Amino acid sequence: MTDLDAREAFALDIALRAGRLALTMRNDLAPADAKSAIDFCTEADLAVERLIRGEVEERFGDSFIGEEFGGEPGDAVWVVDPIDGTTGYIHGTPRWCVSIGFVVRGVIEIGVLYAPATDRLFTARRERGAHLNGRPIKVSGLRHGAVPVIEAGWSERSSLDTYFELIRRLNAARIEFRRIGSGALGLAEVACGLADGYAELHINAWDAMAGLLLVSEAGGVVNDFLANDGLRKGNSLMACTPELATSLTAILDTLTHPT
Ligand code: IPD
Ligand code: CA
């Protein structure tokens, strides 16, 4: 039996410590390695992943998949992005976070996400709700009464033409969009009602695991991200307040499964 309570307590503690480590390292940042023209890895990404990976290994011995050092899924697996939103981190914006998910036999059980620059700790446990700094959160329900706003993420894993087509379709459906550069934080902001949805043609599991649980525990709708080996290969991502689910699913489906 996997002790979820112990892992949840650990995830909360390590997310805070990892986030503070990244924040401290931000003060004295060495030039980043470029993985591509828009994808970077700093010393902090590596140090934070080493910290979390090392403690998981020592305390639980579970499997581990991380953005910087990879890994393979097992029955119980931690799925971690040490810094999601690395470009924003490098540029000194507050839009980055540590994202930690824990998955047991294809079910996300724990999601913890810490944004140190704004001191926001998002936590979710399956069937126990989602919280921001200890307070329950829920999706917007479009209660603002204004135009819906979603985050439309993009990376070079998808073609720009297809991304522009996604934006065009959102515009035709009268859905406002933005791209602020952290998929994990984008999902957390859907969970607490600061955005109405999130869509991306392809995103990796470490960006999405914690946020997917946050959104579903906050009353939102998410796609079946783990289908088709999503844990290893990543997948398209749709997460939103229930009122947008039908239109967002239709918009994304035609682009990810063209006929
Ligand atoms: C990226 C960000 C971005 C998302 C990309 C991710 P990184 O991760 O989450 O918002 O659109 O798909 O790769 O490079 O900041 O760790
Ligand atoms: Ca990432």
List the CATH number of the domain containing 208: 3.40.190.80
Q: What contacts 56, CB < 8 A, 6 or more positions away?
A: 10, 62, 64, 78
Tokens of 110: 């724990």
What is the reported pLDDT for 36?
63
Of all residues in the chain, what percent carry a pLDDT higher than 90? Answer: 90
What is the reported pLDDT for 28?
78
The CATH code of the domain that includes 14 is 3.30.540.10
Residue 144: inside a domain: no
Confidence band for 34, pLDDT divided at 50, 70 and 90: low
Average pLDDT, the chain: 94
What is the reported pLDDT for 202?
97
Tokens of 88: 């924003």
C-alpha span between 71 and 195 (Å, rounded): 32
Beta bridge partners of 41: 33
Domain boundary among 81, 101, 136: 136
The whole-number average pLDDT for the span 228-245 is 97
Can you list the positions of beta strands (E) in the chain? 33-36, 39-41, 63-66, 76-84, 97-104, 107-115, 120-125, 130-132, 135-136, 149-152, 176-178, 197-203, 221-222, 235-240
C-alpha span between 95 and 187 (Å, rounded): 12
What is the reported pLDDT for 62?
97
Instruction: Check pLDDT > 80 for residue 233.
Output: yes
Instruction: Check pLDDT > 80 for residue 29.
Output: no
Tokens 């997460």 sit on residue: 239
- Name the closest ligand to CA 80: 2
Q: Is 220 in the pocket of ligand 1 (CB under 6 A)?
A: no
Q: Is 49 in the pocket of ligand 1 (CB under 6 A)?
A: no
C-alpha span between 46 and 15 (Å, rounded): 15
Q: What contacts 111, CB < 8 A, 6 or more positions away?
A: 100, 101, 102, 122, 123, 124, 125, 130, 209, 210, 211, 212, 213, 214, 217
Number of structural domains (the chain) is 2
Q: Is 155 in the pocket of ligand 1 (CB under 6 A)?
A: yes
Strands 76-84 and 63-66: parallel
Q: Is 66 in the pocket of ligand 1 (CB under 6 A)?
A: no
Instruction: Check pLDDT > 70 for residue 199.
Output: yes
Instruction: Check pLDDT > 70 for residue 150.
Output: yes
C-alpha span between 4 and 194 (Å, rounded): 29
Residues 130 and 204 in one domain: no
Residue 142: inside a domain: no
Residue 79: inside a domain: yes
Q: Which of 81, 97, 182, 204 to mutate to test the pocket of ligand 1 (most atoms within 8 A of CB)?
A: 182
Q: Is 88 in the pocket of ligand 1 (CB under 6 A)?
A: no
Give pLDDT tens digits for 56-106.
999 999 999 999 999 999 999 999 999 999 999 999 999 999 999 999 999
**Which residues form the domain of 39?**
4-136
Confidence band for 254, pLDDT divided at 50, 70 and 90: confident
Domain boundary among 80, 104, 136: 136
Instruction: Check pLDDT > 60 for residue 253.
Output: yes
DSSP 79-100: EEEEEE-HHHHHTT-S--EEEE
H runs (alpha helix) in 108-244: 160-172, 183-191, 205-217, 230-233
Domain boundary among 79, 114, 136: 136
Residues 49 and 107 in one domain: yes
C-alpha span between 85 and 212 (Å, rounded): 17
Give pLDDT tens digits for 117-146.
999 999 999 999 999 999 999 999 999 999
